[in-house]
Amino acid sequence: MIKLTDKNERQALRFMAPFLILMLVFTVIVFGIGFLTSLTDAQGINPGKNIGLLNFKNILKDPYFWNSVYVSFKFAAVSVAIQIPAAFLISLWIESLPYKKTQSFLKAAFFIPSLINTLVAGILFRLLFYGEQCIANIVIGFFGGNPNMNWLDDKTLAFPLLVIVSFWQCIGFQIIYFSANLRSLDQSPYEAARIDGAGRISILKNITLPLMKPALIFMTITSAVSSLLVFDLILGLFQYNIYDNVTGIILYIYLRAFQWDLEIGAASAAGWIAFFLILAVSLLQLKFLGLGEKHED
């Protein structure tokens, strides 16, 4: 497919080779082997024998699997719906301030939670939400909410808790990314609008939003994918008492492969299905939200 006649082309390939080789080994081959494993009844270290598409059939019939898919998608939808607008508004707010040092302090402060190990974040929030008189309830009570919630032992509160912690951890990078984008915007339309006497809302709607669309789409997709992949946060937050309404796909695969019955083959099949589901989501998002390519050029 690629001709190597030109010297330059050969050199270009040489420059790209390290990345391409690593990509080949750790994504393409990993991929293929994943598929091959999913066709076997491998269990633990036993390689197993070929059983065709039986694993796929079983997984697709497994209500736990579909539950985990539902949990992941619900979580991703809720998280993205909350995080992206919030991060966007906060970054607009930060960029509107005239104080340089305060701006960089704010960005750092919002970003710091995302430096924390997700597992540790889970454990930390266990602490903040422990017992009926926990610090979280004190804060909630302060703002007029119900101050007597038992967060860690209440199944219905598990999902909101997950959303809260994920919000705390993820929003920092989004804010920094949006701020960087806002700063890099071309200023001339703003000057024109100011001369025309346009209001703040109309500037936001007619200039900022369209200009920021690629960045918003990019962030939406990457955030959605990483939310779909949520795993160690659940493990850290709920530890040995994981309710099924917070068991996401990856956790399901992990539990199947390494905890429940060591069904490597079946778990591989689940991994493959999950992979395509997630890929489909990101492609759909690209399509629906439009102009995915423009961001690249």
Residues 30-89 that bind another protein (CB under 8 A): 30-34, 37
Scan for tokens 């694993």, then name that residue.
55
Q: Which of 130, 159, 190, 243 forms a contact with another protein (CB under 8 A)?
A: 130
* Tokens encoding 15: 């420059």
Cα–Cα separations (whole angstroms), residue 55 to 51, 267, 274: 8, 8, 14
What three-state secondary structure class fits 212? Answer: helix
**94 or 246: CB nearest another protein:** 94
| Residue 130 · residue 149 · CB < 8 Å | no
Q: Which of 180, 192, 204, 284 forms a contact with another protein (CB under 8 A)?
A: 180
Estimate to the nearest angstrom the gap between the alpha carbon of 79 and the chain centroid: 9
**18 or 196: CB nearest another protein:** 18
**71 or 267: CB nearest another protein:** 267
96 binds another protein (CB under 8 A): yes
Ranges within 143-172 binding another protein (CB under 8 A) = 168, 172
Estimate to the nearest angstrom the gap between the alpha carbon of 142 and the chain centroid: 31
Q: Which of 46, 50, 102, 202 forms a contact with another protein (CB under 8 A)?
A: 102
**Sign of the CA dihedral with 177 first, then 163, 86, and 127 last:** negative
**196 or 246: CB nearest another protein:** 246
Q: How many CB atoms lie within 10 A of CB 151?
A: 22
209 binds another protein (CB under 8 A): no
**47 or 202: CB nearest another protein:** 47
Q: How many residues bind another protein (CB under 8 A)?
A: 101
Residue 196 CB, nearest distance to another protein (Å)? 23
Q: Which stretch binds another protein (CB under 8 A): 25-33, 62-70, 140-148, 194-202?
A: 25-33
| Residue 64 · residue 292 · CB < 8 Å | no
| Residue 110 · residue 86 · CB < 8 Å | no
User: How far is 103 from 110, CA to CA, in rounded Å?
Assistant: 11
Residue 53 CB, nearest distance to another protein (Å)? 17
Ranges within 213-252 binding another protein (CB under 8 A) = 215, 221-222, 225, 228-229, 231-232, 235-236, 249-250
